[in-house]
Amino acid sequence: MKPIHAIALATLGFAATGAAQAQTYGPQDEGHRFSDGSRVVCKDVEVQRSTSDPNRIAGTAAGAVIGGVVGSQVGSGKGRDLATVGGAIAGGTVGRKVQGNRQETRGDRIVEQRCERVWR
């Protein structure tokens, strides 16, 4: 057997072992006890629901453009270039934060039941 094939088979075997150990639990499993003393516990948790722009790209881009335009109005020569770049960076940061705050206040959060195996 070639070394490449042996490595590939070992990798597949390891991946299959990891996949076999990964287990998800749902509300129907709550209270289930295992022989090792662990059990399944479920809790209600507040999670953010998927939004159309979870990475806040629109707010970052808009803030960067506005900040760059404002920064370009300051100074002259190389100072103007630095002010433009600084304004774009600061504007992008502010725009991302503003969009994040709007997403939080719009109620893009839901309560979901999450279950996990605990050892106690």
Q: For residue 107, is it left (φ>0), alpha (ψ between -120 and 50) or beta?
A: left
Instruction: Give the pLDDT band of residue 106 (cuts 50, 70, 90).
Output: confident
pLDDT at residue 25 greater than cutoff 50:
yes
Q: What pLDDT shows up at residue 89?
A: 95
What value does the mean pLDDT of the chain take? 79
Residue with tokens 């109005």: 73
pLDDT value at position 21? 54
d(CA 111, CA 101): 19
Average pLDDT over residues 54-70: 91
Most confident segment among 18-27, 87-96, 111-120: 87-96
For the chain, the domains span: 3-119
